[in-house]
Structure 1
């Protein structure tokens, strides 16, 4: 959410996020609830039995600290466990409960997603709790959930029910929610085509250590009209990526070259859903725009631009179907349909750690392909115009999705060599 989130009324925060969750297919018309506890101890919560696809700020209920209710509806039937969480954990200021399909899949087989599937997830989600089944809306359900939060968890799988997550504010809770569902989806999709591989804690710690490098600051920054226009393009593509499920609020980097080897890039620690022009960071002459922190992957983008003059835009993200191949070390054969092969030709993968700054990264930088998968980390897409690069990302994700979905039907039959040669002659020469 925006940097001025705390200046936004709890009603507006809640309606914005519940709409986002609903449109992304992570809850139903009747399911899910969100709350925020304010500095007065009053709890703002979604109403009971009101369409989650069309909630307005005026629909949000306030349950005052003294128990009185302000609003035109009844508070969510699950309000008791929201209240129990706040009483158990004063550091929790917002709670999200929903029934996203992948996490429900884990809840009905009595399992917890292993967030070591990618490098950032463990840090964002933390350890995951597990609450035994109790009657929805009951005080007993509130007790078992609160007991899990008392153990220090901020994310809990609810047996045969869904998930509940807390955060220091609604942004924090939503990032945790999105990331946990992403992990669950990636594990499920990966299991359709192979066996998911998980990172060790040592792998994750190595990532955190190598990512600490920071470029020096430039003294002044100039913003010419074409540079501002590119900032707008980046913001639009980032938001579109989030809406399409190709990026989540806590991960995804987009950059554009704007002059020689200077470029613009998205920042770190800013929600991708509501990124603004002011958030974008200019990188010029190896220095960063003053008082801004660019993506931790900035050095990769910098090296790609230096070594590949035809590349003018880069998207680095974690989309669930592409990452299904990244976590299983499965080869993604893009000879699915003509468009996929014409655009991508091949999607190689590199081992986890290849993207660490201190390692030999020639596979990523010098042999720069249109799309490349870094195992258990991300996918890198490069191109000329940013919209073209985004199109490549969509095509790659669709190709991966088709293969994952087709796995239950039988073995993939790719376009053959003769057909590929025909495509090459017509479209690439």
Structure 2
């Protein structure tokens, strides 16, 4: 069941568990709030086990200020109430102390938000709130003022603390923004450390072009009956989506999987679907130039269609932005496959970089690239595209891409000079594993 369909208290327990399981807070840190249609504000309690909240732990603050519940409200409840009162369009607020957001707060700086399109689109006029002791009136005032005085703001970084993220849509959306921003900051930190300079950014013009790209008008068809083969493939997509999320290869909002059903049709994840809890009903069938009625496929579905049309040997495509591999997508650093034999065996040839926007403007070029070159492509400031003869095969490539990138980054952090596999060793691998 979608988070939004749960009762408010259940939503708070669900999202707080996700925050904890995603390593975005400690067992005792962070707090959430959610405003319902009657104007009641539901909040998490003070203390307790953030990964194991029960519905009975959640408090309900009535419009008159009376509190229902057996626990003590979080010390930051005043901040939540102020944000929701001063900005009535907001429905939910997330606060916690993940490593990326805390790191930037220790510098008392604002992060780059034009690194990846998901963050560039979701974070509005990010602000820096002055330091205040947790639970103090000073901190409540400092944070509340940033939201009240800047009507476009939906994120405030707290000096030496963490961040507050608010959403007009709901709690799941606030969490998605929160997680993607922290993820983006961690990429920025690694890119600056390894690359020696600030990352490459998306321009406003590039982002506008990306956002305004129109999908072709397609007819719809009614799905009458789902075959056993199709249902198994839908379930497999959901399984690998869940696996990608749990292994930090996908975030809630970032990541797409598709799989060929037959020569003329394929399945792809639905636009706006929650990668943490994807269901078979949120997988969309594309048949020729028609789409399953009542559903909106991922924005990238036409790229997937063209790749399938041009490459009959490709049966699955995964688009993702894994943290360590993305360092090479937002810098001028080359992703070198000649690190360990497995990397070269799985990924084959050098991975080419395509400019940001290539998923829109260079679809046929990408399709031809997969026909002739590596099964993986890098789209600058956007994603990696991994192709394979099955979902398993494409997922294997994605994992190898990320694990190898992490190894290279850690090697550079250890210092010294990286020693890749030499030409004769590469030839030996090619000969043994029939790589042409």
Task: Give the TM-score taking structure 2 as reference length.
Answer: 0.93
For residues 184-223 of structure 1, the aligned pairs below 5 Å read: 184-194=185-195, 195=197, 196-223=199-226
1:166 is matched with which residue?
Answer: 166
**RMSD value over aligned CA atoms?**
1.7
- Cα shift readout 1:121-172 (whole Å, capped 9, x = no counterpart): 2211222111111111112211111111121211111111011101121022
Query: Secondary structure of 2:358's match?
Result: coil
Counterpart contact for 1:124–1:179, Cα < 8 Å: no
Q: After superposing the two structures, state which structure 1 stretch, 419-428 or 340-349, moved more.
A: 419-428
| C-alpha displacement of 1:307 | 1.0
Counterpart contact for 2:92–2:166, Cα < 8 Å: yes
Q: Following the alignment from structure 1 to structure 2, what is the Cα–Cα distance between the partners of residues 26 and 261?
A: 42
Q: Following the alignment from structure 1 to structure 2, what is the Cα–Cα distance between the partners of residues 246 and 125?
A: 21
2:308 is matched with which residue?
Answer: 305
| Residue of structure 2 aligned with 1:79, choices 53, 77, 80 | 77
Counterpart contact for 1:336–1:414, Cα < 8 Å: yes
1:103 is matched with which residue?
Answer: 101
| C-alpha displacement of 1:313 | 0.4
Unaligned residue ranges in structure 2 (runs of 5+): none
Counterpart contact for 2:4–2:11, Cα < 8 Å: no
Unaligned residue ranges in structure 1 (runs of 5+): none
Q: Following the alignment from structure 2 to structure 1, what is the Cα–Cα distance between the partners of residues 343 and 364?
A: 25
Query: Secondary structure of 2:369's match?
Result: coil
| C-alpha displacement of 1:220 | 4.9
Q: 1:240 to 1:304 in 2, by over 3 A?
A: same
1:127 is matched with which residue?
Answer: 125
| C-alpha displacement of 1:62 | 2.2
Q: 1:148 to 1:212 in 2, by over 3 A?
A: farther
For residues 112-151 of structure 1, the aligned pairs below 5 Å read: 112-150=110-148, 151=150
1:41 is matched with which residue?
Answer: 39
- Cα shift readout 1:58-111 (whole Å, capped 9, x = no counterpart): 222223333333333211111111111111111111110011101111111111
Q: Following the alignment from structure 1 to structure 2, what is the Cα–Cα distance between the partners of residues 307 and 277?
A: 27
2:402 is matched with which residue?
Answer: 397
Q: Following the alignment from structure 1 to structure 2, what is the Cα–Cα distance between the partners of residues 35 and 115?
A: 25
Task: Give the TM-score taking structure 1 as reference length.
Answer: 0.95
Query: Secondary structure of 2:24's match?
Result: coil
Q: 1:211 to 1:239 in 2, by over 3 A?
A: farther
Q: Following the alignment from structure 1 to structure 2, what is the Cα–Cα distance between the partners of residues 262 and 251?
A: 23
Counterpart contact for 2:123–2:177, Cα < 8 Å: yes
Q: Following the alignment from structure 1 to structure 2, what is the Cα–Cα distance between the partners of residues 306 and 124?
A: 33
1:364 is matched with which residue?
Answer: 366
| C-alpha displacement of 1:219 | 4.9
